Amino acid sequence: MGRDTNNRASGVDAQLVQRVRRNQWTGAIVNLAPSAFWLGVFFLAPLAVMFFFSFGERGAFGEVLLATENLGFQQYRRFFVPGEASMLGALWATVAWLIDTVIPGTQTLSSTQPTPYVRLLFKSIGYGILATVVSFVVGYPMAYYIGHIAPEEYQNLLVVLVILPFWASFLVRIYAIQLLLSANSVLMSAFAVLPFVEQGVSLMNSQFAVLLGLVYIWIPFMILPVYSSIEEIDFTLQEAAMDLGADRFEAFYYVIFPQSKPGVMAGSILVFIPSAGAYVIPELLGGTDSQMIGNFIASQFGSAGHWPFGAAGAFVLMGIMLLSIAAYQRGGGELA
Amino acid sequence: MPQQQSTSDRRTFLRTTGAVSAAGLVGLAGCSGGGGDGSDGSDGSDGSDGSDGSDGSDGSDGSDGSDDGDELEDELRIFQWGDYWPDGFISGFEEEYDVSVSVSLYSSNEEMFNALNAGGTGQYDLIFPSDYMVNILNEQDMVQPLNLDAIPNFGNLSEMFREAPYDPGEQRFSVPYQWGTSGIAYNEEMVGDIEVNSWETMWNEEFSGQMSMLDDVRETMGAALKYLGYSLNTTEESEIEEAKELLIEQKDLLATYDSSNFPTNLINEQLSPLHAWSGGAFQAYWETFEDGSSPVNYVIPEEGGVVWVDTAAITAEAENVNAAHAFINHFLDAEVGAEITNYTYYGSPNEAAEEYILDEILDNESIYPDDETMSNLEFIENIGQATTLYSNAWQEIKSA
């Protein structure tokens, strides 16, 4: 009734409102405008500025030079190409170094080493992969237990326990690890009881400490997606498989695991990205041998005062991450 | 033990007297009606101790001349190194001058410089750059000349610090705040009673995995250059290259590069020997002081090392120039200057303050080195474009 009166009172306006309301774009614009504004102003615009900076040059006192004669690929070149080597030489040096590092035994295929930045980049990716694998090995059984074996009434409680560490600040937890790993701490003194551990040993400032920190902080991101996909699985399929002659392992490997794969995929990506780009964890737990690409980028924007180089490093890292994730998803998609 | 007792007693004592004299100043300011600016401060210090009469009268002469009626602003924004004045230092100034102070912290000169470069110098009024950074900031027109008439306590500075190689010329852009050296510190509980007199210690494989170097380009490159027998301000590419190789070689022996946690690492016997700033080493010294001695030692290597001065400077686009001048004048006061040094254990450029500085600091050769040691020390200088050589080398060291 009210609407009728309204329509009659202001016919033209109401018609306009109706037309706007029925227009196919209205919904899209209303729904997307806030997020588009947010992402545009606070994500895309800064990203574009940094991308532009990465083609610039550093002035003597750290200012960014962006005049036309300064623009070019020099920062990317400096990142990838050692000394006077050619593009091809740099590529070969990188590949040869990777082979040398990954396969033990073969030594020095190429005489030129890749730049320290490239080595740092691959080291960070290595940390990322390692942290992801360890998170998977530790997290999967846990997610399986929570999603399938644990009694229904405890499931929510267990999930809350997994999330619980997030209630305390990230930094506080890293400092707590520092305390635990330094020499003569409670933990290290307890370890000293073991026959092969010396008294007064410290695990701080080591690659192990960094890996421990990465896994500890990011493992919930592995457990939660895996849990949610395991919880969806219809476990009568496992019984069916075993009825048809599969043993427990086969039933798990061929029937259950493939169904939990979307969770493993999501979890791996969620652990890998922040691990490979970590900055605070290697800064606080690492030593001289365990700095990562994130520390390099941070120092370029900080004490080294070389924004273009830092920006170039950041975009290389981003490119490599996007590529590896694309490859991983494609590979995973075919396997599933 | 007894000595430690006395230290803390004297600290408390100094803090209390500081508060009392602050209260006195507020009272005096009230009497004079707040008409003059700098003269309040000098009157106050005369009133509270009356010991350096000549300096005091010099000061009030100066401020009489500059009585332009410049009012103090309500606000002062300071950009300063972490942990560089005693607790309550800021609130003391706030009460005395009725200025509300906000302090932001940085941990290296380069970090401070880049923050100013990126966000404009107007973000802060008062900054505390080290010697060579004063020169760079000056060249970049990022600091403004000081009005010495508004800083009557400038006369309290010792002869040596009144003229500065990094801030030459008629106009002064900086006033020294604290000075010190860098060298090697170690905790005997960890490494025993070792003989340290050369930078060679920091390359000794015996201490593999338990050493750290400062996370600072010029300091750590400087240590390597000194060890090689070069000047730490060299611009020779080959010498810088050599120092770089030496530091890369050293990397496997180090636990970490660190400029902020080394006192804690000394106290908790986590790392030793390590590359340290004198003040941090002495904090660790007093923290572990018991029964008349401390296991923490600090040595300036015979090859020499860095002597540095941290200064106060006012940014080019500062909004609260008068309050910044008042703050500089405040810390140059004899008693206030002593209060700072008694807290930081760094040397004070303030000669008038020496009367109030603890004897154990004045008599300590590692804080106030003898002339021979002093002659081996070098200021870090602004080396212009060669800075890029250093930062590239440092980047390669850190990424190697």
pLDDT number for residue A107: 63
Task: Identify the CATH number of the domain in which residue B207 sits.
Answer: 3.40.190.10
pLDDT digits (tens, 9 = 90+) for A251-266: 999 999 999 999 999 9
In this structure, the answer to whether residues B157 and B230 fall within a common structural domain is no
Cβ of A303 within 8 Å of Cβ of B399? The answer is no
In the predicted model, what is the mean pLDDT of residues A80-91? 82
Q: Do A288 and B114 touch (CB under 8 A)?
A: no
Question: How many structural domains compose chain A?
Answer: 2
**Who has greater pLDDT, B385 or A137?**
A137
Do the bridges between strand B175-187 and strand A64-65 make them parallel or antiparallel, or are there none, so unpaired? unpaired
Q: Is residue A248 part of a domain?
A: yes
CA distance A136 to chain B (A): 29
A-chain CB neighbours of B139 within 8 Å are: 61
Strands A64-65 and A57-58: antiparallel
CA dihedral B93, B95, B96, B100 (to 10 degrees): 60
Quote the pLDDT of residue B48. Answer: 39
Indicate if B169 and B84 belong to the same structural domain. yes
Other beta carbons within 10 angstroms of residue B52's beta carbon come to 21
Which chain B residues have a beta carbon less than 8 Å from that of A291? 398-399
Nearest to A62 among B117, B255, B270 (CB): B117
Q: Are residues A269 and A304 in the same domain?
A: yes
Residue type, A303: S
* A61: chain B residues, CB-CB within 8 Å: 113, 117, 136, 139-140, 387
Say yes or no to pLDDT of A121 above 70: yes
Evaluate whether residue B6 is within a structural domain. no
Environment class of residue B216 by beta-carbon count within 10 Å: exposed (0-12), middle (13-18) or buried (19+)? buried
Hey, is A200 helix, strand or coil?
coil
Determine whether B362 is exposed, middle or buried from the number of CB atoms within 10 Å of its CB (0-12, 13-18, 19+).
middle
Q: Which two structure tokens, joined as six digits, stand for B331?
A: 């810390």
Residue B390 structure tokens: 């250093």
Residue B263 lies in a domain: yes
Q: Which of B113, B252, B399 sits opposite A62 (nearest CB)?
A: B113
For the four alpha carbons of B85, B334, B156 and B76, in that order, the dihedral sign comes to: positive
Burial of B88 (0-12, 13-18, 19+ CB in 10 A): middle
Is there a single domain that holds both residue A29 and residue A62? Answer: no
Residues of A engaging B, defined by a Cβ cutoff of 8 Å: 58, 60-63, 116-117, 119-120, 182-184, 202, 204-205, 286-289, 291, 295-296, 299-306
Q: Which residues contact A133 (CB under 8 A, 6 or more apart)?
A: none
- Looking at chain A, which residue has its C-alpha nearest residue B214? A288
Q: Answer yes or no: is B249 within a domain.
A: yes
- The whole-angstrom distance between A284's CA and the closest CA on chain B is 10
Query: Is the CA virtual torsion B34, B35, B37, B40 positive or negative?
Result: negative
Under an 8 A CB cutoff, do A306 and B391 touch?
yes
Please enumerate residues of B whose Cβ is less than 8 A from a Cβ of A.
Answer: 108, 110-111, 113-114, 117, 136, 139-140, 216-217, 251-252, 254-257, 268-270, 384-385, 387-388, 391, 394-396, 398-400
Q: Is the pLDDT of residue A1 over 70?
A: no
Q: Which residues of B touch A201 (CB under 8 A)?
A: none
Q: Contact B398/A291, CB-based, under 8 Å?
A: yes
How would you classify residue A176: left for phi > 0, otherwise alpha for psi between -120 and 50, otherwise beta? Answer: alpha
Residue A191 burial class via C-beta count within 10 angstroms: exposed 0-12, middle 13-18, buried 19 and up:
middle
Answer whether B202's CB lies under 8 Å from B273's CB: yes
Whether residue A68 sits in one domain with residue A43: no
Give the strand pairing for B100-106 and A64-65: unpaired
Question: What is the average per-residue pLDDT within A229-239?
Answer: 92
Distance in Å, alpha carbon of B392 to nearest chain A alpha carbon: 8
Distance from CA of B400 to the nearest CA of A (A): 5
B316 and B174, same structural domain?
Answer: yes
Residue A81 DSSP code: -
Whether residues A127 and A176 share a domain: the answer is: yes
* % of chain A beyond a pLDDT of 90: 52
Specify if B228 maps to a domain.
yes
Q: Tell me if B35 is assigned to some domain.
A: no
Distance from CA of A151 to the nearest CA of B (A): 46
Residues B384, B248, single domain; the answer is yes
Domain assignment present for residue B48? The answer is: yes
Domain count, chain B: 2
User: Are the Cβ atoms of A289 and B251 closer than 8 angstroms?
Assistant: yes
Same domain, B266 and B393: yes
* Residues A23 and A64 reside in one and the same domain: no
Judge whether A197 and A184 are in contact, CB under 8 Å: no
pLDDT digit string (tens) for A287-329?
A: 888 889 999 998 888 777 788 999 999 999 999 889 888 888 7
Task: Answer yes or no: is A149 within a domain.
Answer: yes
Supply the Cα-derived Rg of chain A in whole angstroms.
Answer: 27
Say whether both A45 and A60 belong to one domain. no
pLDDT at res. A4:
54
Q: Hey, which residues does B175 pair with through a beta bridge? A: B312
Report if residue B218 sits inside a domain.
Answer: yes
Instruction: Compute the mean pLDDT over every residue in chain A, rounded to the nearest whole number.
Output: 87
Task: For residues B49 and B166, state if they share a domain.
Answer: yes
pLDDT, tens digit, for every residue of A210-233?
999 999 999 999 999 999 999 999
Which residues in chain A touch residue B400, judged by CB atoms under 8 angstroms apart? 116
Q: Which strand (E) or helix (H) includes residue B307?
A: strand B307-314
Tell me the CA distances in angstroms from B374 to A99, A327, B300, B364, one per residue in order: 52, 61, 10, 14
Q: Are strands B274-277 and B175-187 parallel, antiparallel or unpaired?
A: antiparallel
Rounded to whole angstroms, how far apart are CA atoms B247 and B397? 7
pLDDT digits (tens, 9 = 90+) for A141-170: 999 999 999 998 999 999 999 999 989 999
Smallest CA–CA distance from A287 into chain B, residue? B256
CATH number at residue A141: 1.10.3720.10
- Is there a contact between A286 and B111 if contact means CB atoms under 8 Å apart? no
B166 and B147 within one domain? yes
From CA B331, how far away is CA B321, in angstroms rounded?
Answer: 16
Domain assignment present for A107: no
CB-based contact A304 B394, cutoff 8 Å? yes
Decide if B252 and A288 are in contact by the 8 Å CB cutoff: yes
One domain, residues A123 and A234:
yes
Disruptive mutation site among B241, B395, B397 for chain A (greatest number of A CBs within 10 Å) = B395
Q: How far apart, in whole angstroms, are the C-alpha atoms of residue B297 and residue B188?
A: 8
* Largest pairwise CA distance in chain B: 67
Distance from CA of B156 to the nearest CA of A (A): 34
Say if A109 falls within a structural domain. no
CB contact under 8 A, B254 and A61: no
- Interface A-B: count of C-beta contacts within 8 A: 77
Averaged pLDDT in 10-residue chunks for chain B of 400 residues: 38 39 40 37 38 40 45 93 89 93 89 87 94 90 94 90 84 94 93 90 93 92 95 94 95 90 91 92 89 90 92 95 95 94 91 92 87 87 84 85
Kindly state whether residues B87 and B168 are assigned to the same domain: yes
Nearest to B399 among A117, A205, A305 (CB): A117
The residue range of the domain holding A256 is: 54-83+115-335
Q: Is residue A94 part of a domain?
A: no
CA atoms within 13 A on the CB side of A306: 23
pLDDT given for residue B233 in this prediction: 93
Nearest CA in chain A to B391: A304
Q: Tell me, what amino acid is at B270?
A: Q
Contact B114/A306, CB-based, under 8 Å? no
Assess whether pLDDT exceeds 60 at residue A250: yes
Distances (CA, A) of B162 to A281, B42, B142, B351, B381: 44, 19, 22, 10, 18
Partner-chain residue, chosen from B385, B387, B400, that has the shortest CB–CB distance to A116: B400
For residue B256, give the nearest of A63, A205, A303 by CB distance: A205
Could you tell me which chain B residue has the CA closest to the CA of A305? Answer: B114
Q: Are residues B238 and B217 in the same domain?
A: yes
Of B222, B278, B276, nearest to B247 (Cα)?
Answer: B222
| Alpha-carbon gap: A187 to the closest alpha carbon of chain B (Å) | 15
- Closest Cβ opposite residue B110 in set A286, A289, A305: A305
**How many Å lie between the alpha carbon of A118 and the closest alpha carbon of chain B?**
9
| A46 and A58 belong to one structural domain | no
Residue A89 lies in a domain: no
Residues A41 and A179 in one domain: no
Q: Please indicate, yes or no, if residue B32 is contained in any of the structural domains.
A: no
> Does some domain include residue A131?
yes
Chain B interface mutation, best of A61, A74, A284, highest count of B Cβ atoms under 10 Å: A61
Please enumerate in sequence order all residues whose Cβ is within 8 A of that of B289, keeping only pairs 6 or more positions apart, or say none. B3, B4, B7
Distances (CA, A) of B340 to B103, B155, B357: 17, 18, 9
Do A166 and A246 fall within a single domain?
A: yes
* Range picked from A32-36, A189-193, B168-172 for highest mean pLDDT: A32-36
Please check whether residue A106 lies inside any domain of the structure.
no
In a shared domain, residues B283 and B329: no
User: What residues of chain A lie within 8 A of the CB of B393, using their CB?
Assistant: none
Which chain B positions have a beta carbon within 8 Å of A182's beta carbon?
268, 270
d(CA B197, CA B204): 13
What is the pLDDT at residue A3? Answer: 53
Match 């309301």 to its residue by tokens. Answer: A21
| Residues of the domain holding B169 | 42-179+310-364
Residues B184 and B318 placed together within one structural domain of the fold: no
On whether both A191 and A220 belong to a single domain, the answer is yes
Does one domain contain both B295 and B390? yes
B359 pairs with which residues across the strands? none
Same-domain check for residues A20 and A76? no
Residues of B in contact with A119 (CB under 8 A): 399
